[in-house]
Amino acid sequence: MNSRKLVYIFLPLVTIFLLIVIISWRIDNNKPSKVLANAGLTLPSGFEASAIAENLGRARHLTITPQNDIYVHLESLKNGKGIIVLHENNGKATIKTSFANFGGTGIAIKNGYLYASNDKAVYRFKLNEQNEVINPDAPETVVSGLLSRRAHEAKALCLDNKGNLYVNIGAYSNICSEFDRDRKGCPILDSAGGIWQFKADKLNQHYADGIKYAGGLRNVVGLSWNDQSNQLFVMQHGRDALHDLFPKLYTQHQSAELPAECMFALKKGDNAGWPYVYYDWIQNKNMLGPEYGGDGVKTADPQYINPAAAYPGHYAPNDLLFYTGTQFPEKYKNGAFIAFHGSWNRAPEPQAGYCIVFQPFKNGMPDGKWEVFANGFAGGPEKTSPNAAEHRPCGLAQGPDGSLYVADDQRGTIYKITYKN
């Protein structure tokens, strides 16, 4: 009786002790993240990755100078600064300086200036011959008064070779239904849901000075000028909630996979069709949206352009980079890398994305099937969700030696990916 009682008392205690030992051992072993091979990423054979900086903040987009200075734009200020400058030497990055009293997403270098945006404006900083910012406290205002209404407000940007600046003005809505209850036509498209073009070297432009370059684009965070086809390429974040809004037309599985996240090759005046149409990557068809009479079978009016390439639903493409280096094998030359931030709107199905995809190109247009290039940012299948992910790829840049750099806005890690044969 007594010994039995003792067992009842001690068995739980021993179990607790053993559990504590196991948990503490695991915590200890999880600590040094740098021990992970390739910084936890899986890559094609011959490639290596390392985390060259960590805990920078919400690192969104980044750009790198020929002198190996890395300008990282933070979504919100850290220690009062929105842009961090790293200098990289032999695979190690140290913080050189930080500046800018605004957070944001867009950042790019062109013709001796560093351009950077917040949600309402685009600024620029003059660079010296070493591509260092000359006057960090006095940016010039290129454009101000950009529309920013709580949703899709990041002003991603890029520049062409003819002195133009392209800025995303995201639609402040999922599918415009709250503004278009009578289905007469989405009224916000004259001032949002597209790419606006401004002059890159003209100061103090206002929103109204811009030209709507292309419309019907719900939200674009990844955009880039393609020098081969001399064309603007954008990655659209597709609509959400097909099943939630139309449970009779779309299953939960269809709603997780659809619509496609689309890559568009734009010409001036193009209309990509949001909110009236969406692209179905399984049927390879541009479809009429259910809000406007679609049923999952009816196709879209051909006035709306088709995507140049399409990817699974809700992956959230947050950056687009055309690879022009010589370090990576030949097949990567002039192809596109896409940073997929990762989904939230696939629930109750598992979330997906959280990876870098490579899209082969030929003569300046997508050619052939895309493939996952770098994966493992989230830290495992059980962590593949916006809350649990350890890292989320958000920005891409090419270094002077042809290495690929990735910015993570979950923990502020900067990855460097190199090819070693």
Closest approach of another protein to the CB of residue 345, in Å: 7
Residue 23 or 35 having the CB closest to another protein: 23
The yes or no reply on residue 347 touching another protein (CB under 8 A) is yes
Q: Closest distance between another protein and the C-beta of residue 24, in Å?
A: 5
For residue 176, the Cα-to-chain-centroid distance in whole angstroms is 23
Does residue 93 contact residue 71 with C-beta atoms inside 8 Å? Answer: no
Contact 97, 87 (CB under 8 A): no
Distance CA 48, CA 346 (A): 31
CB 205 within 8 A of CB 198: yes
* Residue 33 vs residues 91, 359, 419: alpha-carbon distances, Å: 16, 30, 22
Question: Is 251 one of the binding residues for another protein (CB under 8 A)?
Answer: no
Stretch that binds another protein, among 127-135, 163-171, 225-233, 345-353 (CB under 8 A): 345-353
Q: Cite the beta strand spans of 216-364 per DSSP E.
A: 220-226, 231-236, 261-266, 277-280, 285-288, 309-311, 317-322, 336-340, 355-359, 361-362
Q: How far is the CB of 31 from another protein (least distance, A)?
A: 11
Q: How many other β-carbons are positioned within 10 Å of the β-carbon of residue 45?
A: 5
Check residue 386 for interaction with another protein (CB under 8 A): yes
* 145 neighbors 121 (Cβ within 8 angstroms): yes
Binding residue for another protein (CB under 8 A) from 137, 387, 420, 421?
Answer: 387
Asked if 25 touches another protein (CB under 8 A), the answer is: yes
Neighbours of 292 (CB within 10 A): 18
Considering only 20, 95, 282, 297, the residue that binds another protein (CB under 8 A) is 20
Least distance from another protein to the Cβ atom of residue 310, Å = 22
User: Is residue 79 near another protein by the rule CB under 8 A?
Assistant: no
5 scored as a contact of another protein (CB under 8 A): no
Report whether the peptide linkage leading into residue 259 is cis, meaning its omega lies within 30 degrees of zero: yes
Q: Is 23 in the site for another protein (CB under 8 A)?
A: yes
- How many positions of this chain bind another protein (CB under 8 A)? 25
Q: Does 18 bind another protein (CB under 8 A)?
A: no
Please report whether residue 11 would count as binding another protein according to CB under 8 A. no
Footprint of another protein on residues 205-244 (CB under 8 A)? 241, 243-244
Structure tokens at 311: 């990817």
Contact between 7 and another protein by CB under 8 A: the answer reads no
Residue 5 burial class via C-beta count within 10 angstroms: exposed 0-12, middle 13-18, buried 19 and up? exposed
Q: Is 150 a residue that touches another protein (CB under 8 A)?
A: yes
Return residues touching another protein (CB under 8 A).
Answer: 12, 16, 19-21, 23-25, 27-28, 150-151, 173-174, 178, 241, 243-244, 344-345, 347-348, 385-387
